[in-house]
Structure 1
C-alpha cells in the first residue's frame, strides 16, 4: 500500500454517516479532514460541571489550527493544557493519546474506549431541580426536606397570629433523594442531594393560608403499605412578629440524653415550670420556635413529647418544631463528637430571619442550656439580657451570671421580661 493510499484511508469519511455525524460536520467542518479528533490548549480553563455550552466555547477559543500544529507540534503535545475532544467528550492528552495513536496506526476501525473524560456536564443540584419545578432557588439549609410527590393538599385549622411562612414536618420519609448507583466504572461518583420543596410566593398565596397554624396533609403511595398520609404544619405570622427560641434537650428536658430516653419509658424528665412560663410568654403575644439539633428521624417523637407535656394544668404552646434535616449518625457526630450543634442552628435561624424585612430582627429572646446556644443567640442579634441559659439543677443564668432563678421564678417576672406586645406597640406609637 502506498503512502498516499494510507493518507486517504486515515482521512476518509464513512459512506453512510449518521445524523449525529452530519451535525458534527456542519458545526465543525475541519473534522472531515481527520479521524474525528479536535485539539485545544484549554486544559486550565475546563472545570467539572461548568456546562457543555461553556466548555464548547472555551474549547473553540483555544482551538489549535492546522498551521500552528505543523510549526509547533512537538511543543504542543508536551503542553499540559492539551485537550482532545471526541464528539462531546473532553480528555486530557495523557488519557487519550493511545486511542489517537491506535487509530492512526491501525485505521479508524480500531476501537479502544477512552477513559476519564472531564465531566463538564452540569451536575443536577437542588437549585436546578427547583427551577425545573418552578420553585424559588434554595439556600444552603432547608426547612422542608420532602421527598415525595404531593397528591393532595391542605386541610386547615387556624389558631392565632400573618404573612411569614414556616413549615414544620411531622414525619419525613427517605430524606435523601437516592441516585441510581453508576454501573459504569468509568463514571465518577456523584453526590446525593437532599430533595427540598420551597414554594414560591404565588404558590403560598394559592393555599389560602390563615393566620396562625395551618395543617397540610401529604398523600402518597408505597408498594408495601399502599396509600399513606403525612401531616405537617405551616405557620403564618405577621411581619413584625416577636419570636422566642427554645432549645429542647437540656432546656425543656432536664438533660440532653435522659431527656430523650426517659419519656419513652413513661417518666417525666422535663424542667419544672417550663410549660407555665412558655404559656405565659405565648399569651403575651410572642411566637415560639422549638429548635433542636436532633436528627430528622426523631421529629415525631420530639413533637409528641413537647405537645403532650402538661404541668400544673398548663401545656406547651404550639409553634414550629425545627429539626436538623440530617440523619441520626451525622447529627450525633456533629453534636456529640464535634460539639458543634450551633452550626445547624445558626444556618437555620438565618434562613428564618431572611423571611422578614431586612431591617427588622424578629428574634426577641432565646432559651438554651449550652455555651453554643448562647453563641447562636448572640449571632442572631438577641441582647444578652434576653438570653436564658439553664443548668441541670434548674438554675437559670441571665447575661452569663447565675442569679439562682428558675422557670418558676421567671414566671413571676414574665410581664417585665416579656411585656405584652400590644402594650409595646402602643408605647411605640406614642
Structure 2
C-alpha cells in the first residue's frame, strides 16, 4: 500500500507542482446582507509533502492581515475551522472591502501559497459570464497550450481576433465580467496571466478588462476524472451557485 501511495504522490507531483486559488465573489444585497462564494485554495503537492498539513493559513486582504484563518487539509485544500470553504457571514460583513477587485494572499508564515482576487459586487450588478477555451481562445487545446509556461515563453496568444475589444465594450457598458472555465485550479494563476497578456495583437492594442476567474476547485487529476467527463453538468452547477449568490 505504501508503494502505491508513493506512486500516486509521484503522479500528483508531476501534474500539480503549483498552488492555485479561485477568485472570491461577495455580493452585497439591498437589505444589507451579504453572500459569498467559496474560498477555494489548493496547495501544491510539493507544499503538502513538506509536512504542512494542518498548518494555519493566514489570509491577507489588500496587503493587510485579516481575521480569517484556514488550515491545510489532508488533500491539500484549505478549509475554515468548521470544515467548510465559506467564512461566516459576520466575518465577511466586517471586511474593509472596496468596490470591484480586492487582492487576496494566502500564506503560511512567510511562505506565499497562492494569490487571488475578491470581487465585491452589488445585488443589482449585471454579470456577463464568459467561457475561456473555445470562446476567448480559438480552440480548447490551443488555449491551454497558449496559457502554459511554454506557450507564454513563445508569446502564443491563440485568441479570437477582436475578443479583447468586445469584452472591453461590454465592461464599458457597465457589466461585470466573470470568466468560467473547467481548467484545474492549479492552472488559475497561469490563466490569469494569459488573460492579462492577450490583446497586444489588436490594432490599437486592447487589454482584457478585469474580471473574476472561477476554475474547477480540483487539481489536474481530479479535474480530469470528475469534471472533464461531464463538462455540461460541471458548468450548470457553477452557474447555479453563481445565481444563488444574487438571491
Query: Which TM-score tier does this pair reach, normalised by the shorter chain?
Result: 0.5 to 0.7
Q: Residues of 1 paired with 2:77 and 2:155: CA distance? A: 37
Partner of 1:235: 119
Partner of 1:309: 198
Does residue 1:143 correspond to 2:38, yes or no? yes
- Of the three residues 299, 316, 332, the one matched with 2:224 is 332
Partner of 2:29: none
- Of the three residues 199, 209, 232, the one matched with 2:97 is 209
Partner of 2:241: 351
Q: Residues of 2 paired with 1:331 and 1:151: CA distance? A: 26
Is the 8 Å Cα contact of residues 295 and 323 (structure 1) preserved in structure 2? yes
TM-score (norm 1): 0.39
Is the 8 Å Cα contact of residues 102 and 119 (structure 2) preserved in structure 1? yes
| Distance change (3 Å), C-alpha of 1:333 and 1:214 | same
Q: Residues of 1 paired with 2:216 and 2:235: CA distance? A: 8
- Uncovered stretches (5+) of structure 1, i.e. residues with no partner: 1-141, 158-172, 180-191, 358-430
3-state DSSP of counterpart to 1:253? coil
What is the CA distance between 1:305 and its match in structure 2?
0.4
Describe the superposition over 1:34-92 as per-residue Cα deviations: whole angstroms up to 9, x where unpaired.
xxxxxxxxxxxxxxxxxxxxxxxxxxxxxxxxxxxxxxxxxxxxxxxxxxxxxxxxxxx
- Report the structure, 1 or 2, having the larger strand content: 2
Does residue 1:272 correspond to 2:143, yes or no? no
Instruction: Report 1:278-317 matches (<5 A).
Output: 278-310=167-199, 311-312=202-203, 313-317=205-209
Is the 8 Å Cα contact of residues 213 and 234 (structure 1) preserved in structure 2? yes
3-state DSSP of counterpart to 1:351? helix
What is the CA distance between 1:217 and its match in structure 2?
2.1
3-state DSSP of counterpart to 1:314? coil
What is the CA distance between 1:335 and its match in structure 2?
5.5
Q: Residues of 2 paired with 1:308 and 1:199: CA distance? A: 33
4+ long deviations beyond 6 Å: none
Q: Which has the larger radius of gyration?
A: 1
| Distance change (3 Å), C-alpha of 1:149 and 1:232 | farther
Q: Residues of 2 paired with 1:284 and 1:251: CA distance? A: 20
3-state DSSP of counterpart to 1:290? strand
Is the 8 Å Cα contact of residues 104 and 118 (structure 2) preserved in structure 1? yes
Is the 8 Å Cα contact of residues 182 and 227 (structure 2) preserved in structure 1? yes
What is the CA distance between 1:296 and its match in structure 2?
1.1
Q: Residues of 2 paired with 1:152 and 1:324: CA distance? A: 21
Does residue 1:155 correspond to 2:62, yes or no? yes
Higher relative contact order, structure no. (Cα contacts within 8 Å, ≥ 6 residues apart): 2
Q: Residues of 1 paired with 2:222 and 2:114: CA distance? A: 24
Aligned residues: 181
Q: Residues of 2 paired with 1:151 and 1:327: CA distance? A: 21
Q: How large is the Cα RMSD of the aligned pairs? A: 2.7
Q: Residues of 2 paired with 1:271 and 1:342: CA distance? A: 23
Q: Residues of 2 paired with 1:281 and 1:252: CA distance? A: 14
- Uncovered stretches (5+) of structure 2, i.e. residues with no partner: 1-36, 43-54, 65-70
Q: Residues of 2 paired with 1:343 and 1:296: CA distance? A: 18
Is the 8 Å Cα contact of residues 156 and 209 (structure 1) preserved in structure 2? no
| Distance change (3 Å), C-alpha of 1:282 and 1:257 | same
Q: Residues of 2 paired with 1:250 and 1:292: CA distance? A: 10
| Distance change (3 Å), C-alpha of 1:202 and 1:294 | same
Partner of 1:245: 129
Q: Residues of 1 paired with 2:168 and 2:208: CA distance? A: 6
Is the 8 Å Cα contact of residues 179 and 214 (structure 2) preserved in structure 1? yes
What is the CA distance between 1:315 and its match in structure 2?
0.8
What is the CA distance between 1:327 and its match in structure 2?
2.0
